[in-house]
Amino acid sequence: MTHPSRTPVVVVTGASRGIGLAVTKHLLEAYKAKVVTVSRTRSPELQALSSDSLLSIDCDVTDAAALTKAISLGVEKFHHLDGLVLNAGTLDPLGTIGNTTPVDEWKHHFDVNFFSLVTALKAALPDLRKSEFGGKVVFVSSGAAVKGVAGWGPYNASKAAMNSLARTLATEEPNIISVALRPGMVDTEMQNQLRQRGAEHMAEDVYKSFVATHSDGKLVNPNDSGRAIAALSTKAPKSLSGEFITWDSEQCKALL
């Protein structure tokens, strides 16, 4: 495929902090991309990136009409859509299946972590199909997708569903590259939540392992996993479509 002279246009959800903010920075700085960010709030760090290459839209991803409109506004401003980074998500609710997690909270969790993905894909696919770069979708997943961490029922299930959605999209849309990525244990607000609230919901040894990873300075820097996601959203090869890979895998390193 011959790439056009223009720079890519990428939508990033959940971009106000953490991984999403890091992805946005890398896209703007390393790839000179046009970026549309979609997040509930606009952090000072995101505001500081303001430029003609960035369109930031305040939007709750569970509002299907607003999310669809946000993606439409991005295409209207930058005239193209080449990549979609599905990063917005929640850990809540923590709690066991049998005792402390009401079904309504599971439903809300899936509205954030899964059904918003379907909404975004439906809105983005017509333009991703037309991308001269070859459309790309990066699903920011988790090791929880293939594990059963006690107390994380909704999160485990929604990330597994995300991986399934990525695989299905790869088969349904052969001209769009769809990749699910495990970003590692990243130093974000989610990890802080686990340290603050996880003890009452998780097995003691698992909880202590999260605390120790933080205290030992072994959490992944958001910039590192963000760099890998930015590369995938612009350069992921066809061979990765439908795959679930880790941020520091050889496949990712080859793109950096």
* Catalytically annotated residues: 141, 155, 159
Q: For the chain, first and last CA: distance in Å?
A: 20
Say if residue 145 is exposed, middle or buried (CB neighbours under 10 Å; 0-12, 13-18, 19+): buried
Secondary structure (3-state) at 143: helix
- Integer angstrom CA distances of residue 26 from 19, 22, 71, 223, 227: 11, 6, 20, 8, 6
Give the orientation angle of helix 222-235 with respect to helix 18-30, to 10 degrees. Answer: 50
Quote the strand ranges of 172-252, DSSP E. Answer: 177-182, 244-246
Q: What are the strands of the beta sheet with 136-140, ordered from one edge?
A: 54-58, 34-39, 9-13, 83-86, 136-140, 177-182, 244-246
What 8-state DSSP symbol labels residue 152?
A: B
